[in-house]
């Protein structure tokens, strides 16, 4: 299925398995579905900071549009903050080595 009016495509089956009760969980799970944990761990929204990779803006916008469609009234800034947090969390967990 395509997300919103974008060319970003995801598995319909996996999309329908995303958490639907909380916007924050839905947005972060959707980001993982679209980008994967490895890409999230080495990227940022802007490409600034410790990493140099920028998350694909078309995919970021598709996430924002999809979240706002599913959870009307959600501010873009709140979704972008969740995406930043998701990148930070994935970066942290990918750097932690098991003992």
Exposure string for 12-28, b = 16+ CB within 10 A, e = fewer: eeebeebeeeebbebbb
Domain total for the chain? 1
In a domain, 49, yes or no: yes
Encode pLDDT of 60-90 as tens digits: 999 999 999 999 999 999 999 999 999 999 9
Encode pLDDT of 12-58 as tens digits: 999 999 978 899 999 999 999 999 999 999 999 887 766 568 999 99
In a domain, 4, yes or no: no
In a domain, 5, yes or no: no
In a domain, 3, yes or no: no
Encode pLDDT of 83-95 as tens digits: 999 999 998 887 7
In a domain, 6, yes or no: no
In a domain, 1, yes or no: no
User: For the whole model, what pTM was predicted?
Assistant: 0.88
In a domain, 33, yes or no: yes
Confidence (pLDDT) at 95: 72
Which CATH number belongs to the domain containing residue 60 in this structure?
A: 1.10.10.2590
Cβ pair 3, 63 in contact under 8 A = yes
């Amino acid at each position: 299925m395509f997300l919103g009016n974008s060319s970003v495509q995801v598995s319909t089956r996996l999309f329908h398995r995303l958490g639907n009760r909380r916007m924050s969980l839905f947005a972060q799970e959707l980001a993982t579905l679209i980008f994967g944990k490895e890409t999230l761990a080495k990227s940022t929204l802007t490409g600034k900071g410790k990493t140099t990779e920028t998350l694909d803006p078309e995919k970021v916008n598709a996430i924002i549009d999809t979240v706002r469609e599913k959870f009307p009234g959600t501010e873009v800034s709140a979704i972008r903050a969740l995406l930043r947090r998701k990148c930070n969390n994935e970066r942290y967990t990918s750097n932690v080595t098991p003992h």
